[in-house]
Structure 1
Amino acid sequence: MTFVSLLPLPHWQTHHHLSAKPVESLPKPKVLLPNLTQPRRLTNLVAMAQQAISSEKHGPVVQQKKFLIPNKNGHILAGVLHDVGSGRLAVLCHGFRSNKEQETLLNLADSLTREGISAFRFDFSGNGESEGSFQYGGYWKEVDDLREVVLHLSQAKQEVCAIVGHSKGGDVVLLYASKYHDISTVVNISGRFDLKKGIEERLGKDFMERVQKDGFIDVRNKGDVILYRVTLESLMDRLNTDVFAASKSINHNCRVLTVHGSKDEIIPVEDALEFDKLIPNHKLVIVEQANHCYTAHQSELASIVVDFIKDSCQPKKPSSEQVPSNARTERSLSSRI
Protein backbone atom coordinates (compact mmCIF):
# COMPACT_ATOMS: atom_id res chain seq x y z
CA MET A 1 0.00 0.00 0.00
CA THR A 2 1.32 3.47 -0.84
CA PHE A 3 1.37 5.88 2.07
CA VAL A 4 1.36 9.66 1.52
CA SER A 5 2.61 11.57 4.54
CA LEU A 6 0.56 14.57 5.64
CA LEU A 7 3.00 15.50 8.41
CA PRO A 8 4.56 18.99 8.30
CA LEU A 9 8.04 18.98 6.90
CA PRO A 10 11.07 19.90 9.04
CA HIS A 11 11.79 23.64 9.26
CA TRP A 12 14.83 23.34 7.05
CA GLN A 13 12.55 22.28 4.21
CA THR A 14 9.63 24.64 4.81
CA HIS A 15 10.71 28.05 6.10
CA HIS A 16 11.18 29.65 2.71
CA HIS A 17 7.63 28.62 1.69
CA LEU A 18 5.80 29.80 4.82
CA SER A 19 7.03 33.33 5.57
CA ALA A 20 9.98 35.64 5.90
CA LYS A 21 10.00 35.23 9.71
CA PRO A 22 13.09 33.84 11.36
CA VAL A 23 12.98 30.10 11.64
CA GLU A 24 12.98 30.13 15.43
CA SER A 25 9.78 32.21 15.54
CA LEU A 26 7.69 29.54 13.79
CA PRO A 27 5.27 27.58 16.03
CA LYS A 28 6.34 24.09 16.93
CA PRO A 29 4.36 21.34 15.28
CA LYS A 30 1.96 19.43 17.51
CA VAL A 31 2.66 16.10 15.87
CA LEU A 32 5.84 14.11 16.13
CA LEU A 33 8.11 13.95 13.13
CA PRO A 34 10.47 11.06 12.48
CA ASN A 35 13.44 11.38 14.78
CA LEU A 36 16.19 12.49 12.45
CA THR A 37 18.72 11.51 15.09
CA GLN A 38 17.79 7.87 14.41
CA PRO A 39 19.19 7.24 10.91
CA ARG A 40 18.23 3.54 10.97
CA ARG A 41 14.54 4.39 11.45
CA LEU A 42 14.68 7.01 8.72
CA THR A 43 16.37 4.53 6.39
CA ASN A 44 13.63 1.99 7.06
CA LEU A 45 10.93 4.55 6.26
CA VAL A 46 12.64 5.41 3.00
CA ALA A 47 12.99 1.72 2.11
CA MET A 48 9.29 1.14 2.80
CA ALA A 49 8.34 4.05 0.56
CA GLN A 50 10.61 2.82 -2.21
CA GLN A 51 9.15 -0.69 -1.95
CA ALA A 52 5.61 0.67 -2.17
CA ILE A 53 6.50 2.73 -5.23
CA SER A 54 8.20 -0.27 -6.84
CA SER A 55 5.17 -2.50 -6.17
CA GLU A 56 2.84 0.09 -7.66
CA LYS A 57 5.00 0.41 -10.74
CA HIS A 58 5.70 -3.27 -11.41
CA GLY A 59 2.55 -4.99 -10.16
CA PRO A 60 1.82 -7.38 -7.30
CA VAL A 61 4.53 -8.97 -5.20
CA VAL A 62 5.10 -12.50 -6.52
CA GLN A 63 6.23 -15.38 -4.34
CA GLN A 64 7.59 -18.45 -6.12
CA LYS A 65 6.90 -21.73 -4.34
CA LYS A 66 8.06 -25.18 -5.42
CA PHE A 67 5.55 -28.03 -5.41
CA LEU A 68 6.10 -31.79 -5.52
CA ILE A 69 2.91 -33.58 -6.54
CA PRO A 70 2.53 -37.38 -6.75
CA ASN A 71 0.68 -38.66 -9.82
CA LYS A 72 -1.44 -41.80 -10.08
CA ASN A 73 1.60 -43.85 -11.15
CA GLY A 74 3.61 -42.92 -8.06
CA HIS A 75 5.87 -40.45 -9.89
CA ILE A 76 6.56 -37.02 -8.44
CA LEU A 77 5.64 -34.05 -10.61
CA ALA A 78 7.74 -30.91 -10.12
CA GLY A 79 6.01 -27.55 -10.34
CA VAL A 80 6.41 -23.88 -9.48
CA LEU A 81 3.64 -21.62 -8.21
CA HIS A 82 3.88 -17.91 -8.98
CA ASP A 83 1.68 -16.73 -6.12
CA VAL A 84 0.24 -13.23 -5.93
CA GLY A 85 -2.26 -14.19 -3.24
CA SER A 86 -5.25 -14.07 -5.58
CA GLY A 87 -6.56 -17.52 -4.59
CA ARG A 88 -7.13 -18.28 -8.27
CA LEU A 89 -4.59 -19.37 -10.83
CA ALA A 90 -3.94 -20.57 -14.35
CA VAL A 91 -2.08 -23.84 -14.90
CA LEU A 92 0.46 -23.74 -17.75
CA CYS A 93 1.30 -26.93 -19.69
CA HIS A 94 4.40 -27.40 -21.86
CA GLY A 95 4.69 -29.23 -25.17
CA PHE A 96 6.48 -32.24 -26.64
CA ARG A 97 9.92 -32.91 -25.09
CA SER A 98 9.80 -29.56 -23.35
CA ASN A 99 9.49 -28.49 -19.71
CA LYS A 100 8.18 -25.82 -17.36
CA GLU A 101 11.19 -23.56 -18.09
CA GLN A 102 10.13 -23.07 -21.71
CA GLU A 103 10.15 -19.39 -22.72
CA THR A 104 6.45 -19.20 -23.55
CA LEU A 105 5.44 -20.52 -20.12
CA LEU A 106 7.80 -18.16 -18.31
CA ASN A 107 6.48 -15.16 -20.23
CA LEU A 108 2.87 -16.17 -19.65
CA ALA A 109 3.49 -16.59 -15.92
CA ASP A 110 5.05 -13.13 -15.78
CA SER A 111 2.21 -11.51 -17.73
CA LEU A 112 -0.45 -13.20 -15.61
CA THR A 113 1.07 -12.16 -12.31
CA ARG A 114 1.35 -8.57 -13.51
CA GLU A 115 -2.43 -8.70 -13.88
CA GLY A 116 -2.85 -10.03 -10.36
CA ILE A 117 -3.41 -13.65 -11.45
CA SER A 118 -1.34 -16.46 -9.94
CA ALA A 119 0.19 -19.05 -12.29
CA PHE A 120 1.41 -22.62 -11.92
CA ARG A 121 3.78 -24.28 -14.38
CA PHE A 122 4.93 -27.88 -14.06
CA ASP A 123 6.72 -30.74 -15.81
CA PHE A 124 4.73 -33.70 -17.10
CA SER A 125 6.10 -37.05 -15.92
CA GLY A 126 9.23 -38.05 -17.83
CA ASN A 127 10.04 -34.40 -18.62
CA GLY A 128 12.10 -31.74 -16.89
CA GLU A 129 12.48 -32.30 -13.16
CA SER A 130 9.54 -34.69 -12.83
CA GLU A 131 10.03 -38.40 -12.25
CA GLY A 132 9.23 -41.11 -14.77
CA SER A 133 10.54 -41.97 -18.23
CA PHE A 134 9.75 -40.02 -21.37
CA GLN A 135 7.16 -41.59 -23.63
CA TYR A 136 6.16 -40.75 -27.18
CA GLY A 137 2.41 -40.23 -27.29
CA GLY A 138 0.99 -40.51 -23.78
CA TYR A 139 -1.62 -37.79 -24.29
CA TRP A 140 -4.14 -39.27 -21.87
CA LYS A 141 -1.34 -40.01 -19.40
CA GLU A 142 -0.54 -36.32 -19.38
CA VAL A 143 -4.23 -35.56 -18.90
CA ASP A 144 -3.99 -37.72 -15.77
CA ASP A 145 -0.96 -35.68 -14.64
CA LEU A 146 -2.89 -32.47 -15.17
CA ARG A 147 -5.81 -33.87 -13.21
CA GLU A 148 -3.57 -34.61 -10.22
CA VAL A 149 -2.18 -31.08 -10.40
CA VAL A 150 -5.67 -29.53 -10.41
CA LEU A 151 -6.80 -31.65 -7.45
CA HIS A 152 -3.63 -31.00 -5.46
CA LEU A 153 -3.85 -27.24 -5.97
CA SER A 154 -7.50 -27.30 -4.98
CA GLN A 155 -6.58 -29.03 -1.71
CA ALA A 156 -3.98 -26.30 -1.19
CA LYS A 157 -6.77 -23.67 -1.40
CA GLN A 158 -5.79 -22.61 -4.91
CA GLU A 159 -8.69 -22.56 -7.35
CA VAL A 160 -7.71 -23.38 -10.93
CA CYS A 161 -9.63 -20.93 -13.11
CA ALA A 162 -7.91 -21.70 -16.43
CA ILE A 163 -5.66 -24.27 -18.08
CA VAL A 164 -3.28 -23.22 -20.84
CA GLY A 165 -1.22 -25.52 -23.07
CA HIS A 166 1.31 -24.98 -25.84
CA SER A 167 1.73 -27.44 -28.74
CA LYS A 168 1.17 -30.95 -27.33
CA GLY A 169 0.09 -29.23 -24.13
CA GLY A 170 -2.66 -27.58 -26.16
CA ASP A 171 -4.05 -31.01 -27.03
CA VAL A 172 -3.75 -32.09 -23.40
CA VAL A 173 -5.86 -29.21 -22.07
CA LEU A 174 -8.54 -29.87 -24.72
CA LEU A 175 -8.63 -33.57 -23.88
CA TYR A 176 -8.89 -32.64 -20.20
CA ALA A 177 -11.85 -30.34 -20.91
CA SER A 178 -13.60 -33.12 -22.84
CA LYS A 179 -13.32 -35.52 -19.89
CA TYR A 180 -13.62 -33.23 -16.87
CA HIS A 181 -15.93 -30.26 -16.70
CA ASP A 182 -14.53 -28.36 -13.74
CA ILE A 183 -12.48 -25.74 -15.60
CA SER A 184 -14.39 -22.92 -17.29
CA THR A 185 -11.57 -21.43 -19.38
CA VAL A 186 -9.18 -23.33 -21.67
CA VAL A 187 -6.44 -21.99 -23.95
CA ASN A 188 -4.97 -24.09 -26.76
CA ILE A 189 -1.79 -22.56 -28.17
CA SER A 190 -0.77 -24.18 -31.46
CA GLY A 191 -2.15 -27.64 -30.68
CA ARG A 192 -2.40 -30.33 -33.37
CA PHE A 193 -5.86 -31.34 -34.57
CA ASP A 194 -5.04 -34.56 -36.42
CA LEU A 195 -2.51 -36.63 -34.47
CA LYS A 196 -2.02 -38.96 -37.43
CA LYS A 197 -0.16 -36.13 -39.12
CA GLY A 198 3.31 -34.90 -38.29
CA ILE A 199 4.69 -38.39 -37.67
CA GLU A 200 6.47 -38.89 -40.98
CA GLU A 201 8.46 -35.70 -40.44
CA ARG A 202 10.03 -37.22 -37.32
CA LEU A 203 10.04 -40.96 -38.04
CA GLY A 204 10.17 -41.23 -41.84
CA LYS A 205 7.58 -42.41 -44.36
CA ASP A 206 8.12 -46.10 -43.56
CA PHE A 207 7.65 -45.63 -39.81
CA MET A 208 4.84 -48.15 -39.48
CA GLU A 209 6.73 -50.91 -41.29
CA ARG A 210 9.86 -50.32 -39.21
CA VAL A 211 8.14 -50.17 -35.84
CA GLN A 212 6.13 -53.32 -36.56
CA LYS A 213 9.31 -55.13 -37.58
CA ASP A 214 11.57 -54.06 -34.72
CA GLY A 215 9.07 -53.04 -32.08
CA PHE A 216 10.56 -49.57 -31.79
CA ILE A 217 12.23 -46.68 -33.63
CA ASP A 218 15.09 -44.69 -32.16
CA VAL A 219 14.97 -41.02 -33.11
CA ARG A 220 18.48 -39.62 -33.49
CA ASN A 221 19.92 -36.17 -34.01
CA LYS A 222 22.39 -35.17 -36.72
CA GLY A 223 25.22 -36.45 -34.55
CA ASP A 224 23.59 -39.90 -34.47
CA VAL A 225 22.81 -39.53 -30.76
CA ILE A 226 19.55 -41.16 -29.67
CA LEU A 227 17.08 -38.51 -28.53
CA TYR A 228 14.19 -40.79 -27.63
CA ARG A 229 12.61 -44.12 -28.48
CA VAL A 230 9.20 -44.63 -30.09
CA THR A 231 7.72 -48.01 -29.21
CA LEU A 232 4.85 -49.63 -31.07
CA GLU A 233 2.66 -49.17 -28.00
CA SER A 234 3.40 -45.45 -27.68
CA LEU A 235 2.91 -44.92 -31.43
CA MET A 236 -0.48 -46.59 -31.33
CA ASP A 237 -1.35 -44.51 -28.28
CA ARG A 238 -0.91 -41.38 -30.37
CA LEU A 239 -2.71 -42.75 -33.41
CA ASN A 240 -5.69 -43.78 -31.29
CA THR A 241 -6.05 -40.43 -29.52
CA ASP A 242 -9.14 -38.85 -31.08
CA VAL A 243 -8.91 -35.07 -30.81
CA PHE A 244 -11.84 -34.75 -33.23
CA ALA A 245 -14.22 -36.52 -30.83
CA ALA A 246 -12.76 -34.72 -27.83
CA SER A 247 -13.33 -31.30 -29.41
CA LYS A 248 -17.01 -32.02 -29.89
CA SER A 249 -17.33 -33.28 -26.30
CA ILE A 250 -16.25 -30.04 -24.63
CA ASN A 251 -19.08 -28.49 -22.65
CA HIS A 252 -20.71 -25.42 -24.14
CA ASN A 253 -20.17 -23.55 -20.85
CA CYS A 254 -16.41 -23.96 -21.25
CA ARG A 255 -14.80 -20.99 -23.00
CA VAL A 256 -12.01 -22.12 -25.33
CA LEU A 257 -9.42 -19.97 -27.06
CA THR A 258 -7.19 -21.30 -29.84
CA VAL A 259 -4.15 -19.22 -30.79
CA HIS A 260 -2.03 -20.19 -33.80
CA GLY A 261 0.78 -18.60 -35.77
CA SER A 262 0.21 -18.06 -39.47
CA LYS A 263 3.79 -19.18 -40.17
CA ASP A 264 3.85 -22.22 -37.89
CA GLU A 265 6.49 -24.52 -39.33
CA ILE A 266 5.54 -27.60 -37.26
CA ILE A 267 1.74 -27.64 -37.07
CA PRO A 268 -0.08 -25.97 -39.98
CA VAL A 269 -2.46 -23.13 -39.21
CA GLU A 270 -5.25 -25.11 -40.88
CA ASP A 271 -5.44 -27.25 -37.71
CA ALA A 272 -6.67 -24.21 -35.82
CA LEU A 273 -9.50 -23.78 -38.30
CA GLU A 274 -10.64 -27.35 -37.60
CA PHE A 275 -10.84 -26.66 -33.88
CA ASP A 276 -12.92 -23.60 -34.65
CA LYS A 277 -15.45 -25.69 -36.55
CA LEU A 278 -16.05 -28.19 -33.76
CA ILE A 279 -15.61 -26.64 -30.32
CA PRO A 280 -18.96 -25.14 -29.22
CA ASN A 281 -17.85 -22.03 -27.30
CA HIS A 282 -14.71 -21.14 -29.21
CA LYS A 283 -12.62 -18.13 -30.14
CA LEU A 284 -9.84 -18.28 -32.74
CA VAL A 285 -6.93 -15.84 -33.00
CA ILE A 286 -4.33 -16.15 -35.77
CA VAL A 287 -1.07 -14.33 -35.02
CA GLU A 288 0.30 -13.10 -38.32
CA GLN A 289 3.89 -14.13 -39.14
CA ALA A 290 4.28 -16.06 -35.87
CA ASN A 291 6.09 -19.40 -35.90
CA HIS A 292 5.38 -22.41 -33.68
CA CYS A 293 7.30 -21.03 -30.68
CA TYR A 294 6.23 -17.39 -31.22
CA THR A 295 9.88 -16.43 -31.26
CA ALA A 296 9.24 -12.82 -32.30
CA HIS A 297 5.68 -12.61 -30.97
CA GLN A 298 5.93 -13.48 -27.26
CA SER A 299 4.43 -10.20 -26.04
CA GLU A 300 1.55 -10.38 -28.49
CA LEU A 301 0.81 -13.97 -27.50
CA ALA A 302 0.85 -13.16 -23.78
CA SER A 303 -1.47 -10.21 -24.28
CA ILE A 304 -3.99 -12.34 -26.20
CA VAL A 305 -3.98 -15.11 -23.59
CA VAL A 306 -4.19 -12.83 -20.55
CA ASP A 307 -7.01 -10.76 -22.06
CA PHE A 308 -9.01 -13.94 -22.65
CA ILE A 309 -8.67 -15.46 -19.19
CA LYS A 310 -8.44 -12.49 -16.83
CA ASP A 311 -12.20 -12.13 -16.33
CA SER A 312 -12.40 -15.76 -15.20
CA CYS A 313 -9.44 -15.42 -12.87
CA GLN A 314 -10.14 -12.24 -10.95
CA PRO A 315 -9.15 -12.48 -7.27
CA LYS A 316 -11.78 -13.92 -4.94
CA LYS A 317 -14.07 -11.55 -3.07
CA PRO A 318 -16.18 -12.41 -0.01
CA SER A 319 -19.60 -13.65 -1.12
CA SER A 320 -21.35 -11.08 1.08
CA GLU A 321 -19.41 -8.22 -0.43
CA GLN A 322 -21.22 -6.26 -3.09
CA VAL A 323 -18.78 -4.41 -5.29
CA PRO A 324 -20.21 -1.79 -7.66
CA SER A 325 -19.00 -2.17 -11.21
CA ASN A 326 -17.34 1.24 -11.12
CA ALA A 327 -15.37 0.21 -8.00
CA ARG A 328 -13.73 -2.83 -9.58
CA THR A 329 -10.84 -0.87 -11.03
CA GLU A 330 -10.10 0.78 -7.70
CA ARG A 331 -10.25 -2.55 -5.87
CA SER A 332 -7.89 -4.09 -8.43
CA LEU A 333 -5.43 -1.25 -8.11
CA SER A 334 -5.47 -1.46 -4.32
CA SER A 335 -4.54 -5.13 -4.46
CA ARG A 336 -1.44 -4.39 -6.49
CA ILE A 337 0.30 -1.87 -4.29
Structure 2
Amino acid sequence: MTQFLEGPQGRRIAYHRSEGTGPGVVFLGGFRSDMQGTKALWLEDWARKCGRAFLRFDYSGHGESSGAFEDGAIGDWFADATAAVQKLTEGRQVLVGSSMGGWIGLLLARTIPERLAGLVTVAAAPDFTERGYWAGFPEAERAALLEQGRVELPSEYGDAPYVITRRLIEDGRDHLVLDQPLPMPFPVRFLQGTADADVPMSWALDLLDHATGEDMRLTLVKGADHRFSTPDCLALIGAAVDEVLARVA
Protein backbone atom coordinates (compact mmCIF):
# COMPACT_ATOMS: atom_id res chain seq x y z
CA MET A 1 0.00 0.00 0.00
CA THR A 2 1.38 3.39 -0.99
CA GLN A 3 2.23 5.75 1.85
CA PHE A 4 3.12 9.42 1.71
CA LEU A 5 5.82 11.54 3.28
CA GLU A 6 5.49 15.28 3.68
CA GLY A 7 8.63 16.26 1.89
CA PRO A 8 10.47 19.52 1.19
CA GLN A 9 8.33 22.62 0.56
CA GLY A 10 5.14 20.64 1.19
CA ARG A 11 5.71 18.12 -1.60
CA ARG A 12 3.99 14.76 -0.97
CA ILE A 13 6.40 11.92 -1.63
CA ALA A 14 4.83 8.54 -2.37
CA TYR A 15 6.72 5.50 -1.10
CA HIS A 16 6.66 1.79 -0.30
CA ARG A 17 8.74 0.53 2.58
CA SER A 18 9.48 -3.05 3.60
CA GLU A 19 10.76 -3.86 7.06
CA GLY A 20 13.83 -6.01 7.49
CA THR A 21 17.40 -6.13 8.69
CA GLY A 22 19.97 -3.45 8.02
CA PRO A 23 21.79 -2.03 6.30
CA GLY A 24 18.70 -1.34 4.26
CA VAL A 25 18.49 -0.86 0.50
CA VAL A 26 17.05 2.28 -1.13
CA PHE A 27 16.17 2.41 -4.83
CA LEU A 28 16.62 5.74 -6.62
CA GLY A 29 14.75 5.84 -9.91
CA GLY A 30 15.57 7.60 -13.14
CA PHE A 31 14.39 10.65 -15.05
CA ARG A 32 10.62 10.35 -15.63
CA SER A 33 10.64 6.85 -14.11
CA ASP A 34 8.68 5.77 -11.07
CA MET A 35 8.80 3.23 -8.27
CA GLN A 36 6.66 0.77 -10.25
CA GLY A 37 9.48 0.03 -12.69
CA THR A 38 10.97 -3.40 -13.28
CA LYS A 39 14.19 -2.81 -11.35
CA ALA A 40 12.44 -1.26 -8.34
CA LEU A 41 9.93 -4.11 -8.03
CA TRP A 42 12.56 -6.79 -8.64
CA LEU A 43 14.76 -5.34 -5.91
CA GLU A 44 11.83 -5.14 -3.52
CA ASP A 45 11.11 -8.84 -4.07
CA TRP A 46 14.82 -9.63 -3.71
CA ALA A 47 14.99 -7.70 -0.43
CA ARG A 48 11.94 -9.45 0.99
CA LYS A 49 13.39 -12.85 0.20
CA CYS A 50 16.59 -11.80 1.97
CA GLY A 51 14.77 -10.26 4.93
CA ARG A 52 16.42 -6.93 4.10
CA ALA A 53 14.83 -3.53 4.75
CA PHE A 54 13.92 -1.81 1.48
CA LEU A 55 12.56 1.55 0.34
CA ARG A 56 11.35 2.73 -3.06
CA PHE A 57 9.73 6.11 -3.67
CA ASP A 58 8.68 8.59 -6.34
CA TYR A 59 10.36 11.96 -6.70
CA SER A 60 7.96 14.90 -6.87
CA GLY A 61 6.41 15.16 -10.32
CA HIS A 62 6.94 11.41 -10.81
CA GLY A 63 4.54 8.51 -10.30
CA GLU A 64 2.17 8.98 -7.37
CA SER A 65 3.97 11.91 -5.77
CA SER A 66 2.61 15.45 -5.96
CA GLY A 67 3.64 18.09 -8.46
CA ALA A 68 4.12 18.37 -12.20
CA PHE A 69 7.20 16.79 -13.75
CA GLU A 70 8.18 19.85 -15.76
CA ASP A 71 8.16 22.03 -12.63
CA GLY A 72 10.92 19.94 -11.05
CA ALA A 73 14.69 19.93 -11.28
CA ILE A 74 17.67 17.98 -9.99
CA GLY A 75 17.84 19.98 -6.77
CA ASP A 76 14.18 19.24 -5.99
CA TRP A 77 14.58 15.52 -6.59
CA PHE A 78 17.81 15.43 -4.62
CA ALA A 79 15.98 17.13 -1.72
CA ASP A 80 13.16 14.57 -2.02
CA ALA A 81 15.67 11.72 -1.89
CA THR A 82 17.47 13.25 1.09
CA ALA A 83 14.18 13.54 2.98
CA ALA A 84 13.24 9.95 2.12
CA VAL A 85 16.56 8.54 3.33
CA GLN A 86 16.67 10.68 6.46
CA LYS A 87 13.06 10.21 7.53
CA LEU A 88 12.10 6.75 6.24
CA THR A 89 15.20 4.68 6.95
CA GLU A 90 17.29 3.85 10.00
CA GLY A 91 21.05 3.46 10.08
CA ARG A 92 23.25 3.15 7.04
CA GLN A 93 21.79 2.31 3.64
CA VAL A 94 22.96 0.84 0.35
CA LEU A 95 21.70 3.08 -2.43
CA VAL A 96 20.84 1.63 -5.84
CA GLY A 97 20.65 4.48 -8.33
CA SER A 98 19.37 3.97 -11.86
CA SER A 99 20.33 6.53 -14.54
CA MET A 100 19.44 9.91 -12.99
CA GLY A 101 19.17 8.02 -9.71
CA GLY A 102 22.90 7.39 -10.02
CA TRP A 103 23.45 11.16 -10.06
CA ILE A 104 21.14 11.55 -7.05
CA GLY A 105 23.06 8.77 -5.27
CA LEU A 106 26.35 10.56 -5.89
CA LEU A 107 24.90 13.78 -4.47
CA LEU A 108 23.77 11.88 -1.38
CA ALA A 109 27.21 10.32 -1.06
CA ARG A 110 28.71 13.79 -1.13
CA THR A 111 26.34 15.30 1.44
CA ILE A 112 25.40 12.53 3.90
CA PRO A 113 28.17 9.90 3.56
CA GLU A 114 27.64 8.87 7.17
CA ARG A 115 24.22 7.43 6.20
CA LEU A 116 25.57 5.30 3.36
CA ALA A 117 26.89 1.78 3.64
CA GLY A 118 27.49 1.51 -0.09
CA LEU A 119 26.39 2.53 -3.56
CA VAL A 120 25.36 0.57 -6.65
CA THR A 121 24.62 2.47 -9.84
CA VAL A 122 22.97 1.21 -13.03
CA ALA A 123 23.76 3.28 -16.14
CA ALA A 124 24.57 6.25 -13.92
CA ALA A 125 23.98 9.61 -15.60
CA PRO A 126 25.74 12.24 -13.49
CA ASP A 127 25.55 15.79 -14.85
CA PHE A 128 23.36 14.62 -17.78
CA THR A 129 21.49 17.91 -18.01
CA GLU A 130 24.75 19.63 -18.93
CA ARG A 131 26.86 17.02 -20.73
CA GLY A 132 23.87 15.33 -22.34
CA TYR A 133 21.06 17.78 -23.08
CA TRP A 134 22.79 21.16 -23.14
CA ALA A 135 25.92 19.91 -24.86
CA GLY A 136 23.80 18.11 -27.46
CA PHE A 137 21.41 20.94 -28.27
CA PRO A 138 21.99 22.78 -31.54
CA GLU A 139 22.07 26.57 -31.32
CA ALA A 140 18.40 26.87 -32.32
CA GLU A 141 17.24 24.69 -29.44
CA ARG A 142 19.53 26.48 -26.99
CA ALA A 143 18.07 29.80 -28.09
CA ALA A 144 14.51 28.50 -27.78
CA LEU A 145 15.23 27.14 -24.32
CA LEU A 146 16.63 30.45 -23.12
CA GLU A 147 13.92 32.56 -24.73
CA GLN A 148 10.84 30.39 -24.15
CA GLY A 149 11.99 28.58 -21.03
CA ARG A 150 11.36 25.11 -22.44
CA VAL A 151 11.75 22.76 -25.38
CA GLU A 152 9.99 19.49 -26.16
CA LEU A 153 12.00 16.43 -27.16
CA PRO A 154 10.53 13.21 -28.61
CA SER A 155 10.64 10.17 -26.35
CA GLU A 156 12.32 7.04 -27.65
CA TYR A 157 10.02 4.93 -25.49
CA GLY A 158 6.75 5.91 -27.13
CA ASP A 159 5.64 8.21 -24.33
CA ALA A 160 4.67 11.86 -24.49
CA PRO A 161 7.52 14.22 -25.42
CA TYR A 162 10.08 15.16 -22.80
CA VAL A 163 9.75 18.74 -21.67
CA ILE A 164 13.19 20.15 -20.90
CA THR A 165 13.05 23.45 -19.05
CA ARG A 166 15.54 26.23 -18.67
CA ARG A 167 15.27 25.73 -14.91
CA LEU A 168 16.23 22.06 -15.25
CA ILE A 169 19.42 23.03 -17.10
CA GLU A 170 20.35 25.91 -14.82
CA ASP A 171 19.58 24.00 -11.63
CA GLY A 172 21.57 21.05 -12.92
CA ARG A 173 24.63 23.29 -13.09
CA ASP A 174 24.28 23.91 -9.36
CA HIS A 175 24.45 20.15 -8.67
CA LEU A 176 27.25 18.90 -10.90
CA VAL A 177 29.43 16.17 -9.38
CA LEU A 178 32.15 15.65 -11.98
CA ASP A 179 33.62 19.12 -11.61
CA GLN A 180 34.84 18.68 -8.03
CA PRO A 181 36.25 15.94 -5.78
CA LEU A 182 33.94 12.94 -5.34
CA PRO A 183 35.12 10.74 -2.46
CA MET A 184 33.36 7.39 -2.00
CA PRO A 185 34.38 6.09 1.47
CA PHE A 186 32.38 2.85 1.12
CA PRO A 187 32.01 -0.03 -1.39
CA VAL A 188 30.82 1.15 -4.81
CA ARG A 189 29.73 -0.90 -7.82
CA PHE A 190 28.98 0.73 -11.18
CA LEU A 191 27.01 -1.30 -13.77
CA GLN A 192 26.83 -0.22 -17.40
CA GLY A 193 25.58 -1.74 -20.65
CA THR A 194 27.69 -1.35 -23.79
CA ALA A 195 24.58 -0.90 -25.99
CA ASP A 196 23.11 1.91 -23.88
CA ALA A 197 21.81 4.56 -26.30
CA ASP A 198 21.06 7.09 -23.52
CA VAL A 199 24.18 6.96 -21.35
CA PRO A 200 27.43 6.50 -23.29
CA MET A 201 29.80 3.86 -21.99
CA SER A 202 32.46 6.56 -21.81
CA TRP A 203 30.48 8.26 -19.04
CA ALA A 204 30.88 5.19 -16.85
CA LEU A 205 34.62 5.24 -17.46
CA ASP A 206 34.74 8.97 -16.69
CA LEU A 207 32.91 8.38 -13.41
CA LEU A 208 35.20 5.52 -12.41
CA ASP A 209 38.22 7.68 -13.17
CA HIS A 210 36.89 10.75 -11.35
CA ALA A 211 35.51 9.26 -8.13
CA THR A 212 37.93 8.22 -5.40
CA GLY A 213 37.62 5.26 -3.06
CA GLU A 214 39.37 2.08 -1.98
CA ASP A 215 36.61 -0.34 -3.03
CA MET A 216 35.21 0.68 -6.40
CA ARG A 217 34.50 -1.45 -9.48
CA LEU A 218 32.87 -1.02 -12.87
CA THR A 219 31.13 -3.90 -14.64
CA LEU A 220 30.43 -3.54 -18.36
CA VAL A 221 27.76 -5.80 -19.83
CA LYS A 222 28.13 -6.51 -23.55
CA GLY A 223 24.93 -5.73 -25.43
CA ALA A 224 22.90 -4.47 -22.44
CA ASP A 225 20.77 -1.40 -23.14
CA HIS A 226 19.68 1.47 -20.89
CA ARG A 227 16.81 -0.42 -19.34
CA PHE A 228 19.22 -3.02 -17.92
CA SER A 229 16.20 -5.15 -17.03
CA THR A 230 16.78 -8.57 -18.58
CA PRO A 231 16.85 -11.47 -16.09
CA ASP A 232 20.65 -11.58 -16.33
CA CYS A 233 20.97 -7.83 -15.77
CA LEU A 234 18.60 -7.91 -12.79
CA ALA A 235 20.60 -10.76 -11.30
CA LEU A 236 23.75 -8.66 -11.71
CA ILE A 237 22.15 -5.82 -9.76
CA GLY A 238 21.24 -8.21 -6.96
CA ALA A 239 24.74 -9.68 -6.96
CA ALA A 240 26.28 -6.20 -6.78
CA VAL A 241 24.11 -5.27 -3.80
CA ASP A 242 24.96 -8.59 -2.15
CA GLU A 243 28.66 -7.95 -2.65
CA VAL A 244 28.44 -4.48 -1.15
CA LEU A 245 26.45 -5.75 1.83
CA ALA A 246 28.96 -8.56 2.42
CA ARG A 247 31.72 -5.98 2.70
CA VAL A 248 29.93 -3.83 5.25
CA ALA A 249 28.25 -6.46 7.40
TM over 0.5: yes
Change (3 A) 1:283 1:264: same
- Tell me the secondary structure at the aligned position of residue 121 of structure 2: strand
The answer to whether 1:135 aligns with 2:70 is: yes
Gaps (5+ residues) in structure 1?
A: 1-64, 315-337
Aligned residues: percent identity?
23
Q: CA deviation digits over 1:238-271, x for unaligned, max 9?
A: 244322135x2334x2222211111111111111
Q: Any stretches of 5+ residues in structure 2 without a counterpart?
A: none
More strand by share: 2
Q: 2:224 aligns with which of 255, 280, 290?
A: 290
Provide closer, same or farther for how the CA distance between residues 311 and 136 of structure 1 changes in structure 2, counting only shifts above 3 A: farther
Distance 1:303 1:152 in 2: 25
Alignment of 1:4-43 (within 5 A): none
Residue aligning to 1:325: none
> In structure 1, what is the equivalent of residue 123 of structure 2?
190
State the TM-score, normalized to the length of structure 2. Answer: 0.85
Question: One-letter code of the match for 1:97?
Answer: R
In structure 2, the partner of 1:74 is 10
Cα RMSD for the two superposed structures: 2.7
Please name the residue that 1:249 is paired with. 182
Question: What is the rounded CA distance, in whole Å, between the counterparts of 2:75 and 2:188 in structure 1?
Answer: 19
Distance 1:150 1:74 in 2: 17
The corresponding residue for 2:166 is: 232
TM-score, normalization by structure 1: 0.65
Aligned partner of 1:324 in structure 2 is none
* C-alpha contact 2:99 2:123 (8 A) present in aligned 1: yes
The count of aligned residue pairs is 243
Once the two structures are TM-superposed, the CA of residue 124 in structure 1 deviates from its matched residue by 0.4
- Contact map agreement 2:98 2:124 (CA 8 A) in 1: yes
Decide whether the 8 Å contact of 1:137 with 1:238 is kept in 2. Answer: no
SS at match of 2:102: helix
Amino acid at match of 1:234: L
**Counterparts of 2:43 and 2:145, CA distance in 1:** 38
* CA–CA distance in structure 1, aligned partners of residues 136 and 45 of structure 2: 33
Matched letter for residue 72 of structure 1: P
Give 2:106's aligned residue: 174
- Which has the larger Rg? 1
Q: Does 1:304 align with 2:239?
A: yes
Large movers: runs of 4+ above 4 Å: 200-205
Distance (whole Å) between structure 2 residues aligned to residue 236 and residue 150 of structure 1:
25
